[in-house]
Each structure stands twice: as structure tokens, then as C-alpha cells.
Structure 1
């Protein structure tokens, strides 16, 4: 009688829910020109992307309408999912700003549980608050309605489901494909024996791979392989004017296309006013521009845009001018226009006025032209 053979199958899996965070600032100029349009007239922001979905802010200067008594004397604000035929689960916070202090004068948020947005359903395509702020209160506040402009900040956290196969061990199915670990392998290679180029940065050394650097940066490609090839490329290349921590972060981004998690510069990080974080973003922007790592430069620009403040905007604008960051410069000009009185009294503005009078003159000319 033949013996029976038993095959044991052991499997493991893991699934996790995460959120991807993004922010958008919407400045609406010409509030007084909307009077008389009636309830339901919507002013939409530009489209922005968070978590793979497109969104916009909907502002109703004379209320959204259709809600009955309570919201008739209020402005309304909503967050709308723009992506067609899509469903997204998200937390949100909408804040109408006091433009003197930068604090919220009115807030609408998804508290407790996230909202399920469905763009194909008018009832769930957008969420917010009909009775967001009393119009009389808004119109009586020079700080909220500075220069006939309203500023609304929006923070969105999109819930994403990321199934990850932690380990799969199936003796009878050798063709099962394990999850990709290419990024972990590439990061490990930074300090491996296969590295073929060494950099000296202010007393610290970093090893890397020429092919990886050349593939990710046209400047490194020219320095390591082209006509600009460093004469000491076979030995140690000295890097001047870059801090070791900045160069280390640059290498991490080149190998992984992402920020080191300990820097707090990822797109989902909170936009707190942290001096070290802002300083690192500035230094990384300079390094990204120097080595033509475009995606890193754009990420740093966005971090600095979200971190603008009265004490930082002048230095950030000078940096944007020096490195031809057009969007960042426009954001700085818009912020200066909204907080001009406090900014002209700051030390940063006085220093810039002495050092770069032409830049200051150009700044005010552009602000004046934008108001016309």
C-alpha cells in the first residue's frame, strides 16, 4: 500500500493603512467684486494633487445656498475631489487666515473619522462647512480681508491601503515572486565594497557609485565621465561649500528618490515652523541646484513655500532669486504683499535692502503690478 505524502504550506502577509499629506494655499483677490452674485456662486482654487488624487478648494462668498436658514449670512468653503470617477478617503482641514498673525480665524475639518469623497456623486464629491464664517465678521476684519483678499489654507491627508507581503514561503510554488527590495539594496550599496568614488566633505568621507551618480545627475556625469572629468576622480574628490549632513542627504536622495526620514522633509510631514528643518531645506535646495537634481529641488521649494513666515520670507526670496526658483519667488512675493507692514520692520528686510537694493525695487514693482 503506497504511503501518503503530506505537504505543509506556510504563508505570512501584512497589510497597513497609511496617509499621504499635502497642503495648498488659495488666495482669492477681489472679494468685494463678488457681491451680488448670490448664494451658490463658487470661486475655485487651482487644482492640486495629494495621494494620487486631484483636489480643489471651493469658496462661496455669499454662501453655498440650499442649506436652509443657518448658512444664509455666512461664507461657505468646501474641499472637492476633482479626479473623475474616483473615490478617496481623506481627512481635511480648511482654515481662513488672519493675515496679520497667520492664525486661523475660521476652521472646517473632518474630525474623528475621515470622509469618503466620491467625485461621481454630487452629494459626496465635496465636504466642508456651509456656515464657515459670518460675512459681517469677515468684512469687518481688516486682517482677514486684507487688500480685498481672502487666504484659505487647506491640509489634506489621504488614506491609502498599502498591502505588503512580508514573507511568503511556499515549498510547492517556487514561482511566487517576493516583494521588491531594490531601494533597500541600493541604499546598502552606498557603503558597500562596490563603491568606486570617494568624496571628502569638510573632514568626512562618503563613498558612492559613478554609474548611479551619473544616471541621476548630469553634473556628476560631466564631472566623472565627461570633458569636465575631475583629475582626481580615481582617488578622492573634495567637495567645498557643502555641509556633510547635506551631502549625505543628497546621496540618499540620489539612491532612493526620497528624503531621509529623520530630516522631516517628506511630503507627508507636518509643516511646523522648525528652524533646523527649514535650514536643511535651504541647503538641500542649493545642493540640488548645483548638481541639477530637479525633483529634489522642487521638493525643497515646496517645503520652503509651506514654511514661509515673517522672519523667514526675505531670506527665502533671496535664495529663490539666486537659484531661479520662479514658483518659490512668486509665493514669497504673495506672502510679502499680505504681511508687508510687519516684514518691512524685520531685520531680514533691512539687510536685503542694504545688500540687494535692485532686488527690493523689483519686488515692490511686481507686487504693485499684481494689484492692478
Structure 2
């Protein structure tokens, strides 16, 4: 199929753009002598990777924007707790607030003070297989860029089509961003509430919360980026990709459930580090649990093992009901419930965000198809 070569200044659209302003790819090769004489502009090849202006990248914005809001909510909560805490606990709450403010401020800086030069380490696909400009394959109307950050870019020769696409995709990405921010506001509030007003719980839990956020969000970014090339070229239907929306997207998976249980256990052990009552309760419960295997072994060694086991078990469980401290189980259950609640909020937000992202990908595929029908410059290439 005949396709136009690409002159410098041709508009470019990205799946992760948050601003609808015009943008294009400019030549950054050391030698650029092949030009379109009618317009006196350089014809681009696959080594031309630099953008004319910075895209506001939704991948970057969501990650740092979410962490910014999470830190801000924790800071507000910690300061509120500091106003009612006394002595050293008040200082602990202030320390958490300072750490959360620092996290939020750093994230805010990272969100806005970034240059989208990821294209310089990215690659073009769909270029001419044999025609070269200044030693490298010529870009065509069908060329797309696979961004190293996880997005997909395409060249759009019709400015009207390009501006309409930029508006649609930037609106979708803004919806995704807003949903992610709202999710972190809720989860930040849940974390503060789960501390039950204890600054020590905030102090131990905040680093874990930030770590969970970073690991979880980076995993989502990697999953989206994994098959972006197949998606934007139509080799893979967005409906078939597991990381996109599913009916059960809001239900915590095995990993989310495990993390909730792990964090609950960490919370109990953390409480034990500063609570003598919790240490005593854990030791008491451990002794009770440890005693049962010996009872079983002793019962099975008698002349009437099953009858002896039933009798001794009844006595054991009757005594355990009076001596077993439920505080440990309650703490574990409470921590687990808060963890599962956070996982549900995160899953529900991901469900919505992925549905918007799927819409973006489907629209982007249609854009690529419509762009092939648009009229480019008068110099036409025929691919081998």
C-alpha cells in the first residue's frame, strides 16, 4: 500500500498524553540533508526520536501524583493526631507528618518537573524496509513509536484528525488520573484511621504503605507496557489482555489477600515491640497452641487412644477458652480487614482506570487505521 514519507512538523499522538497541545517529532540526527523541496523541510528517518515539545506523560503523572496525594493525606492525619497526643507520642506523630510532607513535596516535584525525553531511548516500527534517508530507514505514514516508558505514539498527517485525537486521548487520561488520585485519597484516609490514633502505628506503617504503593504501581506500569507493540499494531485485541478490565477487577486477588495478611502480621509484631501487653498475649497464646500436640501424643499412647483424645481435647479446649487472649486475633483481624478494604478500593479504581485505558487503546487503533487513509505529502513510498 502506498504511503507518504514524513516531513518534519508532522503531528504526533501518544496513548499517554495528558495535554492536547500540538506536538511533533523533529530531526535530531547529526546529518539531515534529505528534504522535501516544495516545503523545504527535512524528511524524517527512524533515528529521529526527539519531540518538539514535552508531552505531559500520564504514566509519570499517575505514579507521582498518587504518591503525592497519599503523603498529603497521611500528613494531615498525623498532624491531627499530634494535636491530641502527649509527650513523646506527639513527637512521633509530628515526625510522621514531616516524613509524609517530604514524600508529598518530592512527589509533587517529580510529577511536574520532568522532561518527556523517553522517546530518545524508544524505537520506531513500520518504517520503510529499503529506502534510507541519510543512512537510516525512512519513516512512513504507517510508522509508530514504541515508547520505553510504556506508551505508543503514531504520526498523523492530517492536523484536524490529530487535534481531535489529542483531545479525546488527553480527556481519557485525565479521567484515569483523577480516578487514581481519588483512590489514594481514600486509601490514605483508611491508613490513618487504621492506626486508631496511635502515632507509633503510623510511624511503622507509613514506610510499608509507601513501599506497597511503589511496588504495586510499578507492576501495573510494567504489565501495561509489556505488550504495547502488539496492542497498537492490532496484533492483540485489547479485550484479550488480562491486565485490562475484568468482571472481578475490584475483588482482591491472591497477591492482594496475601499482602493484607502479611501487613496485619507486621502490624501485630510492631505493636508487640512497644506493648508489653501484646508480648505477654502472644507468648501466652503460643504456649497454649504449643501444648496441644503433646496432649495428642500422650492420648494416643494410652490403652484407649481415641476416647482419651476426646476427653483430653475437651479439657484442653475448655481451659484454652478461658486463658487464650483474643487481643492478638482481634488485632490481626482488624489489620487484615483494613488491608482488604484498601485492596478493594485499589481494585475498584483499577477496574475503572483500565476500562478508560481500554477505550483509549481501541480509539488509538482506529486512529492508526484512519490515518492510513489520509493524504500526506506528494512524495509517495511503496513498501517492499
What is the TM-score with the length of structure 2 in the denominator?
A: 0.23
The structure in which a higher percent of residues are strand is 1
Q: Work out which structure has the larger RCO, using CA pairs closer than 8 Å and 6 or more positions apart in sequence.
A: 2
TM-score for the superposition, normalised by structure 1: 0.23
Structure in which a larger fraction of residues adopt helix: 2
Larger Rg over CA atoms: 2
